[in-house]
Amino acid sequence: ENTHGKRSKIKSANVMLRFAQPSLSEFMTQAEKVASDIDLDFLWEACPAEEFEFGTLAQEYFGHPPNPIEAAGALIRLHGSPMHFYKKGKGRYKAAPPEALKSALASADKKRLQAEQQARYIEQLTAFQLPTEFADKLAMILYKPDRNTLEVKAVEAACAATHLSPAHLLEKCGALPSTRDFHLNKFLFENFPRGTGFPEVNVEAHPELPLATVNAFSIDDASTTEIDDAFSIEKLPDGNWRIGIHIAAPALGIPLNSDIDTIAAQRLSTVYMPGDKITMLPDNVVQAFTLCADKVCPALSLYVQVNADTLLVTSSDSRIERLHIAANLRHDTLEPLFNEETLAADKLDYAYAPELKLLWDFANQLEAVRGKASDNSTQQIDYTFAIENDRVTIGHRVRGAPIDKVVSELMILANSTWGKLLDDNDVAGIYRTQNNGKVKMSTVAAPHQGLGVAHYAWSSSPLRRYIDLVNQRQLISVLSGAAPAYAQNDLALHTILRDFDTAYTTYNEFQRNMERYWCLRWLQQEKISTLPALLLRENLVKIGDIPLVGRVPSIPELPANTRVTLEMGEIDLLDLNFNARFVAQLDVPE
């Protein structure tokens, strides 16, 4: 019968001690008192080298035949000290060897100290103080927590106590002075573990190229340094036009498997974010091939002859050459001059106005030939972000504006023409295809239904995308008569395609997250309390004139495309979320 009154049948072979007095509860109390008084180290020293029975050791320790309470105390002490005594059978033990005991005791002491340290960490964290030991472990704790470490165990315990996420807890502890850096460093930790710098590399020399007779100009954003494309226009003796599309030619100085190629193959693309970027190629490589004004640059050029009356392409040819870049036109200064209003008014009183007007008319013809003429009833907006002194300016432009359409249509022409050139010459390439709405990369040529072209191979951004650099190598082999770098069905192409898809998806997601971050920063910066929003569906809204979408649970049931007023609440720059409250309905969609 145990101390709680429960009776059990016990085999006599399992009985260790027999006694009549005192009662069981008193017996256990007294036995445990005896056990606690036993000097553990002395007990271990008194052990024989071989196995022993607990009663024998009790007699040795007490110096006389033990009474039941003393025997039970010795047994409790032996059983409760597995580091000192190994259990070998019923009531039988063996003393741990000295080295094993020393190691076990050291381990136990280490665990004790760790538990004390963890408790100290938790106490500091719950008081929103950062332990000094955390300074060089923050990236691990935030981005790839190792749950076997004291630091992560302490953070998890403190998070449970404070009801905060690890990022919010550490922010309260002063460990995250910059919320922007929190998101950027997470991306770098996961994708650039060795940092974003480049080793020293040398650009390989390439053969002297023929000099083109034209002067070209580019159209880019003000912050663009990797200028991939430029254009030229030449009046032919027969009155028709020859329009040149010139693409920077880094493949001439980046042989397959060279040091620079290895870097580009690892990065696969330039990474973009508001106010910053991480280039695919080292700066000295970019500077060697970017189509910078007042330079003569190597280029892969596509020339198309265009009928002056119909603006239809009558013929084309491609060349590897050098050409002079006369100007780099920038969006911020060009767009106020070159837009739909100035074109409609026939205002051509700025540099390159006649050339841009011709390219605009040609771009519209290209778009119509593709069967993809603009639908002005569903205008989409492109947004731009400018960061200066930690302040953000968000601009917007209607997609399809002249400044965009000219470049995009000429790039589609180049990419489709060169995709066909690779296919016609049975040279391997990487194509971008679309069938039944799904866009994918492929090593097999196929139509891109969304663009309305039979071939489409990214080739127009070789300074910024590795796929374009790969395709440029193949195009150069066709034009020069050299053996292509990649054979048909080359496994390396499939590896590049797969790796690029993964990296490009990751980079684009990061860019979207950082744009969302700066939208939230803009709301804080402008101290906006109420603002209009467009209901997309259910309680999903697009905020004002910025590319920010989120859910507002308090919105009543309203038709899609209803404009509403919202009151902004808390903004969370770590979770990239905001709280808002429905205030009023502004209109009813037709």
Q: Is 258 found in the same domain as 127? A: no
pLDDT in tens, 16-39: 777 767 877 788 888 888 888 888
**Does the residue 195 lie in any domain?**
no
Pairing of strands 577-585, 431-435: unpaired
Is residue 190 domain-resident?
no
At 24 the pLDDT is: 75
- In this structure, is residue 2 part of a structural domain? no
Residue 368 vs residues 234, 314, 341, 374, 452: alpha-carbon distances, Å: 23, 16, 21, 9, 10
At 162, which helix (H) or strand (E)? Answer: helix 150-162
Residue 210: asked if its preceding bond is cis (omega within 30°), the reply is: no
Same-domain status, 475 and 347: yes
Q: pLDDT confidence of 65, banded at 50, 70, 90?
A: confident
Contact status, residue 76 vs residue 31, Cβ threshold 8 Å: yes
Instruction: Provide the pLDDT for residue 3.
Output: 66
Same-domain check for residues 46 and 19: yes
What is the extent of the structural domain holding 61? 12-96
Question: Confidence band (pLDDT; 50, 70, 90) for 128?
Answer: very high
Whether the pLDDT of residue 339 is over 70: the answer is: yes
Q: Is residue 193 part of a domain?
A: no
* Continuous segment of H or E residues that includes residue 415: helix 402-424
CATH code at position 554 = 2.40.50
> Do both 425 and 299 map to the same domain?
yes
pLDDT tens readout for residues 147-189: 999 999 999 999 999 999 999 999 999 999 999 999 999 999 9
Is residue 204 a part of any domain in this protein?
no
**Angle between the 466-480 and 402-424 helix axes, to the nearest 10 degrees?**
50
User: Given this model, what pLDDT does residue 465 score?
Assistant: 97
Nearest-10 crossing angle of helices 466-480, 259-267: 130
Looking at 63, 96, 129, the residue that finishes a domain is 96
Please choose, from the candidates 234, 406, 422, 228, the residue with its C-alpha nearest in 3D space to the C-alpha of residue 318: 422
Top mean-pLDDT range of 97-106, 277-286, 367-376, 437-446? 277-286
Do 300 and 386 lie in one domain? The reply is yes
SS3 465: strand
- Which of these ranges, 325-334, 387-396, 548-557, 580-589, has the smallest mean pLDDT? 580-589
Per the listing, tokens 């080292």 go with: 282
Provide the token pair at 582: 């429905």
pLDDT at 583 over 70: yes
Average pLDDT over residues 282-304: 96
What pLDDT does residue 313 have?
A: 95
Query: Phi-psi bin for 444: left (phi > 0), alpha (psi -120 to 50), beta?
Result: beta
Are both 454 and 336 inside the same structural domain? yes
374 and 494 both lie in a single domain: yes
Q: Tell the burial category of 216 from Cβ atoms under 10 Å away from its Cβ (0-12, 13-18, 19+).
A: buried
Instruction: Say which residue the tokens 């119509």 belong to.
Output: 368
Assess whether 121 and 223 both reside in one domain: no
Q: With respect to residue 230, please indicate whether it lies within any of the assigned structural domains.
A: yes
| DSSP 8-state assignment for residue 61 | H
Mean pLDDT value across residues 307-324: 96
Domain co-membership, 167 together with 232: no
Structure confidence at residue 328 (pLDDT): 96
Does one domain contain both 558 and 575? yes
Integer Cα distance of 538 and 149 in angstroms: 44
* Phi and psi, residue 265, nearest 5°: -70, -25
Domain edge (last residue) among 71, 96, 121:
96
Question: How confident is the prediction for the chain on average, in pLDDT?
Answer: 91
Residue 518 maps to a domain: no
* Tens of pLDDT, residues 502-535: 999 999 999 999 999 999 999 999 998 899 999 9
Q: How confident is the model at residue 590 (pLDDT cuts 50, 70, 90)?
A: low
Q: Which residues pair with 435 in a beta bridge?
A: 438
Is the peptide bond preceding residue 22 cis, with omega within 30 degrees of 0? Answer: yes
| The length of the chain, given as a count of residues | 590
**11-15, 142-146, 149-153, 512-516: lowest mean pLDDT where?**
11-15
The CA distance from 474 to 523, in Å, is 48
- Could you give the C-alpha distances from 52 to 67, 87, 89, in angstroms and in order? 18, 10, 10
What residues does 235 pair with on adjacent strands?
241
Number of domains in the chain: 4
66-80, 251-265, 345-359 — which is least confidently predicted? Answer: 66-80
Kindly state whether residue 311 falls inside one of the protein's structural domains: yes
For residue range 434-478, what is the model confidence (pLDDT) as tens digits?
Answer: 988 889 999 999 999 989 999 999 999 999 999 999 999 999 999
- SS3 assignment, position 313: strand
Q: Assign 375 a pLDDT band (cuts: 50, 70, 90).
A: low
Selection from 448, 480, 416, 432 nearest residue 207 by Cα: 480
DSSP class of residue 483 equals P
Question: Among residues of the chain, what percentage have pLDDT more than 90?
Answer: 68
Indicate the residue among 64, 96, 128 that finishes a domain: 96
Say what the pLDDT of residue 377 is: 47
Show the CA angle centred on residue 322, arms to residues 408 and 413, nearest 5°.
20
What would the pLDDT profile of 389-407 be if each residue is shown by its tens digit?
999 999 888 888 899 999 9
| C-beta of residue 288 within 8 angstroms of C-beta of residue 233 | no
- One domain, residues 451 and 348: yes
Mean pLDDT of 348-374: 91
* Residues 431 and 539 occupy one common structural domain: no
Structure tokens at 492: 């390396």
